[in-house]
């Protein structure tokens, strides 16, 4: 019997070639077990700086460090065999200039095994995207609502309404022309997302954008319903694991207090 063929990992070139084709499926992952689950169905696995809020309880992504992204990137890499793993560049790791961005992007890729990095910003980051891609660092861009810029945007508001649409479109065009292989469109009106998708040559990955984007991404904890008190408008819940976990923990606590757990089948005797 011949050995099964090795699993081929998705590359940035593959994602770039999916423009206008079968929609690209992307979810976040921050741990090895979740990465294994996500890898089975996704084309892209994003180790997002959202890890700071989702797993570490930070109020925003601004406190996320390179060390945190490397730690979680390494964990996710152990669970990914097929999907392209992309790691977010944290706030402060690339804004100073292209050289700083290259040093930190190269470190992220070398220490995690990531196939690409993601950074936020459009026109202002075009030179950095161009610098990185010219030096073999594949870049996923991110425009629209950019969470690392919430202090200047005034919060987590929809971007690109009215006259502001031209800014978002210019940002998307700039990163596409600079060499990004895809671009995340976050929290922009659906009509604008469709226009951007039609006018840029690289795949658009929507989150709170439009079904017409070339792909979609969600925070895995949002779509699994792990948060019982937080539900973004754009995040459809495909399960209610937070609610189920809460009920399971309550049942466990009740049985412990009533001395019903552990039962006979959960303890050891002399022979077994």
Please say if 186 is a catalytic residue. yes
Q: Is 93 among the annotated ligand-binding positions?
A: no
88 is an annotated ligand-binding site residue: yes
Angle 66-92-143 from CA coordinates, rounded to 5°: 105
Tell me the DSSP string of 19-70.
TTSSPEEEEE--SHHHHHHHHTT-SEEEE-TTHHHHTT--SSGGG--HHHHH
| 79 touches 220 (CB < 8 A) | no
Query: Does the annotation flag 50 for ligand binding?
Result: yes
Asked if residue 171 belongs to a known ligand binding site, the reply is no
d(CA 244, CA 116): 35
Helices (H), 157-260: 165-178, 190-199, 220-223, 241-257
118 is in an annotated binding site: yes
260 by DSSP, 3-state: which?
Answer: coil
d(CA 37, CA 109): 22
User: For residue 200, what are the CA distances in angstroms to 139, 174, 179, 182?
Assistant: 15, 9, 12, 10
| Catalytic residue (one of 96, 177, 186, 240) | 186
CA dist 208 and 206 (Å) reads 6
Catalytic annotation, residues: 186
């Amino acid at each position: 019997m011949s050995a099964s063929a090795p699993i081929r990992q998705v590359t940035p070139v593959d994602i770039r070639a999916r423009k206008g084709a079968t929609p690209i499926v992307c979810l976040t992952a921050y741990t090895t077990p979740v990465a294994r689950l996500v890898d089975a169905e996704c084309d892209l696995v994003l180790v997002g700086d959202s890890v700071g809020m989702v797993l570490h309880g930070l109020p925003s992504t601004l406190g996320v460090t390179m060390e945190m992204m490397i730690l979680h990137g390494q964990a996710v890499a152990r669970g990914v065999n097929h999907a392209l793993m992309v790691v977010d560049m944290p706030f402060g790791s690339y804004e100073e200039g292209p050289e700083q961005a290259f040093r930190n992007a190269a470190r992220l890729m070398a220490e995690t095994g990531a196939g690409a990095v993601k950074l936020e910003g459009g026109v202002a980051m075009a030179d950095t995207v161009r610098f990185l891609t010219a030096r073999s660092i594949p870049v996923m861009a991110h425009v629209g609502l950019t969470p690392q810029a919430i202090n200047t945007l005034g919060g987590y508001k929809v971007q690109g309404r009215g006259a502001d649409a031209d800014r978002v479109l210019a940002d998307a065009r700039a990163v596409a022309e600079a060499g990004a292989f895809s671009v995340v469109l976050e929290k922009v009106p659906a009509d604008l997302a469709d226009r951007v998708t039609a006018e840029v040559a690289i795949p658009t990955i929507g989150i709170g954008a439009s079904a017409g984007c070339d792909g979609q991404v969600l925070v895995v904890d949002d779509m699994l319903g792990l948060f019982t008190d937080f539900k973004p408008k754009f995040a459809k819940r495909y399960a209610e694991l937070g609610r189920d976990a809460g009920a399971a923990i309550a049942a466990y606590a009740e049985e412990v207090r009533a001395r019903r757990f552990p039962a006979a089948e959960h303890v050891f005797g002399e022979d077994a």
